[in-house]
Structure 1
Amino acid sequence: MLRTIKAKFIFGFFAIFFLSFLVLNYTVKEVTWTNNEKIITSDLVELKKNSNVYVRQSFLINHYKNNKLYFGEMAEEMVHDLNFSTGSNVSVYSLDGSLLYSSDKKSFLEKIDTDLQQAIKGKTAYHISYYQNKAKVLFSYPVVIDGSEVGILRFSKDFSLLYNQSKRILDIIFYIAVVIFTVAFLFSYILSRHITIPLVELTHASNQVKKGNLNVNIHFKRKDEIGELAMNFNDMIKRINSQISTIESDRDRLKELNKKEKLFFDNITHELKTPLTSILGYAEIIEQKGESDRSFFKKGMKHIIEESRRLHNMVVKLLEISKGTTREYPFEKVDTSEILKDVCDSMSFRAERYKKSINSDIQEDLYVYGDDNRIRQLFINLLDNAIKYSSPFSQINISAELVKEKIILKFMNPSNHIEQEQFTNLFQPFFSINQEKAEEGSVGLGLSIAKSIVEDHKGIIRIFNENQNTIVYVEMIYMKDENLL
């Protein structure tokens, strides 16, 4: 498109200059020829006046009357005298156009004799002929003596010098005009390129932007409107890039928020499911044999009450989060041994449902600085995974001991061999090695939640194979009495 603009510039300038050149050349030529005709007319008027004076004097000197016969008799004398005095060839004609005498008949042998025809009709007329750089004027008029026409005088005068001078002047003006208009056209062409080339670059850049390429930048070392346009274009691209970066940042942030929201929902679902499962399990067993086993009834009711309270606290916390009024729960001294024993006891019924058993070896007074509910959730998740993914009819071994100021917890269950590269993914949300064994409603968040809880308590959690067993290893900082804040 801009190349079309460039072509329009060039064509427009060429048309303007060419037409201006033609108009100027034509005008100068017409003015020159008009001035030449004025000079010739003025010269012929003077020639006629002088010739008339000479003819009258000749009639008076010879005492001729205004008779056509006398005019014919003195024709030869008039021709010689007028030829000498005017420097022009002269011919004398009768009133009917018959040649009486001529100083040079060849000078009057023109095919065009309109001047003579006009003189025969009683009018003064002249005719200019221009041929091979020679200009000649034939001038005729009727001679009138005392109010009567007595004959016709016809002059042939050479004006070649005048016309040749005019031609030289026209040629000079023509060449000067050609030079001026050529220079002006070249300047206009350069000016058009100076304007259109930046526009071509701007068009190319805008096409790149339209195609999605925003890594464009235009550099014009100009301080005019086009330079300002380029600066504005670059500023516009920078602002677009900035806006796109902001949009992409907002998009990524929204994705992250959506991901966190989903993860939060899945975490809450998982945490709510665990106490509900425990409550439901004890309720079912109590319904089956609660009346016959009073001690189990009391034990089951105790666990149902504890899990119900824990569930209530979780729901309250969830409501606080939804209202934006979440408060931090301060860490305190927590006996992990008591919590772990209680979890093993409460989860034993779940193991029985899977035809499995739990064996625990837990050292007393294993204190940490933390949140008892979250630590309980940690033990429940690890034990729940061990129950679900251990081999059939297997025994799950739980141990907890103090080793060099560190509390070491191990959850060991017989299982199929796990490839080493899969261990790094086990703590990722929603990852499960064997989906066929996954419990309905499980989304694969147990180990992910466990890892988060351990790290919040500044501990370490690992998982590995050993002697056809899967072992979850947890290391937490032991809290002495003097470390209490």
Structure 2
Amino acid sequence: MLTIRKKYGIVLGTIFILSVIAFNLIMDKFFDKEFEDFIRNDMKDIYYISSKNLEDYIALNSIEKSSININDFDNKMIRFVIERVNTQGIFYDINGNIISTAITNEKVIDLNILKDLPPSFEEAKNNKTMLDIESKNGSILGKLSVPIYRNYNEQIGTLVLIKDYSDNYIRNINIKRLVNIIVLILFLAIFICIYFIASNIIKPIILLKNKLLEISTGTYPEKIENKSNDEIGVLIDSFNNMSERIKNKDEKEKSIFRNITHELKTPLTNISGYAQILNEDGFNDDEFKRNALNRIISESNRMHELVISLLDISKQSSDLKEYSFEAVNIKNIIEDLISIKYPKIIEKNLNIISKINKEIINGNKQYLTMLFSNLIDNGIKYSYENTDIKIETKEIEEYFQFSILTKGKRIPIEFKDKIFEPFVRVGEKGFSSKDSNGLGLYICKNIVLGHRGNIEVVLNNDKSKFIVNLPKD
């Protein structure tokens, strides 16, 4: 499998090679053109100087231009023409036969090349001064063909000026190679820097991949140390937070499963025990039988309530981000709940003091009813007899607040933050109440979080005040 680092290295290496090749091709074109322009400009200067020399020679030797003929272009004349431009000269008649030559330095040029006509010789007959750049026997030659006329329309021959540019070409090649080497080193340095920078960027991604693989196997790795504040740093922080949340969720689910097992095991054991006794032959204790049947019914109801609560939690988990919100009249819900629970209130001789304003908030009516029902049920269940229950609603800025204050069983301060966890039951001496399955407040917390609100409890000896804040919109 190709890793990100290998893929990046292959792509970067391909770009590097193509860039070097493209640069070399461009530099070759550039230097070739510059060298060609150099020869053209140099030969242009040579043409002007040699033309002036030819005019001087004609004047010094009293030769009439109108009567000049091919015999005047002897070796002496050609040498005079080229002696100040450091070139070689050869004069051809119009048929391409050599009439005269002048060599300034026989070591500079191969004499055999004088026998070869320039490629543009024929074009020079059409009153065109032509330049040819040839590569001959390892030498780079510039050949300038200059047509010579007796009159304006009578050509008597062609003067070819030849200069060896091999030294210039070698110097040009050396400069080009030096530039290519410098650029190659620069490209290589850039490639290495980019590769190592990319590797440092990819390194935490690879680490994240390995950590994700650990999570997929059910293990939770240590937090990744974050040393950057860029996008990678944000990604690492997000991963650490996600890993911590998944770990906490997994631990919570395992804890819930253990508690469910325990909660179901006890009533099932009791039911099984009583059923076995009742099933024994010759058992005739009617009093025990009545108590046993009542206990079986009680334990069955307890399991039923537990299953209903677990179903509520399961449904909440799937509905948490899919709540169907609508305008809900909180006052109507609370007043209906107090009315429904009135028999329990009368049974304990409780006094409900309510200050409920008409509040309309955006929420899920079903779950809000469950929320307030659980809180009011708890208030009634754990209140002392002949005490007051104060229920109040009010608006605080953009939030709706519900509170219920009761006086009853004391909640130890050390359990203040734990009572919203599943299967936590608090009695006078701590976790011991048998009147609850310990899921009511956990369900309340999930409902509040699903509505983007918060829930808390304020403790003052035997007084407990549960406060719920929900956004109105």
One-letter amino acid of the counterpart of residue 21, structure 1: V
Q: Aligned-pair distance for 1:144?
A: 2.8
- 1:129 maps to what in 2? 134
- Evaluate the alpha carbon distance shift between residue 227 and residue 87 of structure 1 in structure 2; reply closer, same or farther with a 3 A threshold: same
One-letter amino acid of the counterpart of residue 78, structure 1: M
Give 5+ residue unaligned stretches, structure 1. 280-306, 327-485
- Evaluate the alpha carbon distance shift between residue 84 and residue 314 of structure 1 in structure 2; reply closer, same or farther with a 3 A threshold: closer
Distance in 1, matches of 2:117 and 2:95, equals 17
Give 5+ residue unaligned stretches, structure 2. 104-109, 306-342, 345-473
Distance in 2, matches of 1:110 and 1:213, equals 89
Q: Aligned-pair distance for 1:183?
A: 0.8
- Evaluate the alpha carbon distance shift between residue 25 and residue 315 of structure 1 in structure 2; reply closer, same or farther with a 3 A threshold: closer
1:427-456: per-residue Cα shift (whole Å, max 9, x none)?
xxxxxxxxxxxxxxxxxxxxxxxxxxxxxx
- 1:190 maps to what in 2? 196
Q: How many residues end up aligned between the 2 structures?
A: 296
- 8 Å CA contact 1:275–1:311 kept in 2: the answer is no
- 1:176 maps to what in 2? 182
One-letter amino acid of the counterpart of residue 41, structure 1: R
- 1:143 maps to what in 2? 148
Distance in 2, matches of 1:242 and 1:180, equals 52
Look up the SS of the partner of 2:175 in the other structure: helix
- 2:435 maps to what in 1? none
Distance in 1, matches of 2:228 and 2:137, equals 57
One-letter amino acid of the counterpart of residue 126, structure 1: L
Distance in 2, matches of 1:188 and 1:132, equals 46
Look up the SS of the partner of 1:18 in the other structure: helix
Look up the SS of the partner of 1:109 in the other structure: helix
RMSD: 3.4
Distance in 2, matches of 1:141 and 1:242, equals 95
- 8 Å CA contact 2:132–2:144 kept in 1: the answer is yes
Q: Aligned-pair distance for 1:243?
A: 0.9
Look up the SS of the partner of 2:160 in the other structure: strand
Distance in 2, matches of 1:236 and 1:132, equals 75
Look up the SS of the partner of 2:220 in the other structure: coil
Q: Aligned-pair distance for 1:114?
A: 0.6
Q: Aligned-pair distance for 1:262?
A: 0.9
- 8 Å CA contact 1:97–1:120 kept in 2: the answer is no
Look up the SS of the partner of 1:241 in the other structure: helix
- Evaluate the alpha carbon distance shift between residue 180 and residue 59 of structure 1 in structure 2; reply closer, same or farther with a 3 A threshold: same
Distance in 2, matches of 1:247 and 1:194, equals 38
- 8 Å CA contact 1:96–1:120 kept in 2: the answer is no
1:399-419: per-residue Cα shift (whole Å, max 9, x none)?
xxxxxxxxxxxxxxxxxxxxx
- 1:452 maps to what in 2? none
- 1:44 maps to what in 2? 43
Q: Aligned-pair distance for 1:71?
A: 3.0
- 8 Å CA contact 2:144–2:160 kept in 1: the answer is yes
**Superposed, which structure 2 residues align to 1:304-383 within 5 Å?**
307=286, 322=301
**Superposed, which structure 2 residues align to 1:150-229 within 5 Å?**
150-215=156-221, 217-219=223-225, 221-229=227-235
Q: Aligned-pair distance for 1:56?
A: 4.5
Distance in 2, matches of 1:144 and 1:234, equals 93
- 2:319 maps to what in 1? none
2:237 paired with 1:238: no
- 1:249 maps to what in 2? 255
Q: Aligned-pair distance for 1:91?
A: 0.9
**Superposed, which structure 2 residues align to 1:82-121 within 5 Å?**
82-104=81-103, 106=111, 108-109=113-114, 113-120=118-125
1:384-409: per-residue Cα shift (whole Å, max 9, x none)?
xxxxxxxxxxxxxxxxxxxxxxxxxx
- 8 Å CA contact 2:270–2:296 kept in 1: the answer is no
Look up the SS of the partner of 1:62 in the other structure: coil
- 1:258 maps to what in 2? 264
- 1:7 maps to what in 2? 6
1:335-372: per-residue Cα shift (whole Å, max 9, x none)?
xxxxxxxxxxxxxxxxxxxxxxxxxxxxxxxxxxxxxx
- 8 Å CA contact 2:51–2:81 kept in 1: the answer is no
- Evaluate the alpha carbon distance shift between residue 35 and residue 318 of structure 1 in structure 2; reply closer, same or farther with a 3 A threshold: closer
- Evaluate the alpha carbon distance shift between residue 66 and residue 107 of structure 1 in structure 2; reply closer, same or farther with a 3 A threshold: farther
Question: TM-score scaled to structure 1, two decimals?
Answer: 0.53
Look up the SS of the partner of 1:278 in the other structure: coil
- 8 Å CA contact 1:119–1:152 kept in 2: the answer is yes
Q: Aligned-pair distance for 1:119?
A: 2.5
Distance in 1, matches of 2:3 and 2:20, equals 25
Q: Aligned-pair distance for 1:211?
A: 2.5
- Evaluate the alpha carbon distance shift between residue 222 and residue 102 of structure 1 in structure 2; reply closer, same or farther with a 3 A threshold: same
Higher share of residues assigned helix: 1
Distance in 2, matches of 1:123 and 1:19, equals 43
1:155-190: per-residue Cα shift (whole Å, max 9, x none)?
111223432332232122112112101111111221
- 8 Å CA contact 2:66–2:150 kept in 1: the answer is yes
- Evaluate the alpha carbon distance shift between residue 43 and residue 109 of structure 1 in structure 2; reply closer, same or farther with a 3 A threshold: same
Distance in 2, matches of 1:17 and 1:110, equals 48
- Evaluate the alpha carbon distance shift between residue 56 and residue 95 of structure 1 in structure 2; reply closer, same or farther with a 3 A threshold: farther
One-letter amino acid of the counterpart of residue 18, structure 2: L
Question: TM-score scaled to structure 2, two decimals?
Answer: 0.54
Look up the SS of the partner of 1:114 in the other structure: coil
Distance in 2, matches of 1:166 and 1:74, equals 36
Distance in 2, matches of 1:317 and 1:218, equals 54
Distance in 2, matches of 1:22 and 1:270, equals 91
2:64 paired with 1:64: yes
- 2:76 maps to what in 1? 77
Q: Aligned-pair distance for 1:274?
A: 8.5
Q: Aligned-pair distance for 1:92?
A: 0.9
Look up the SS of the partner of 1:144 in the other structure: strand
One-letter amino acid of the counterpart of residue 93, structure 2: S
- 8 Å CA contact 2:91–2:158 kept in 1: the answer is yes
Q: Aligned-pair distance for 1:122?
A: 4.3
Look up the SS of the partner of 1:113 in the other structure: coil
Q: Aligned-pair distance for 1:120?
A: 4.1
Q: Aligned-pair distance for 1:112?
A: 6.8
Distance in 1, matches of 2:162 and 2:20, equals 36
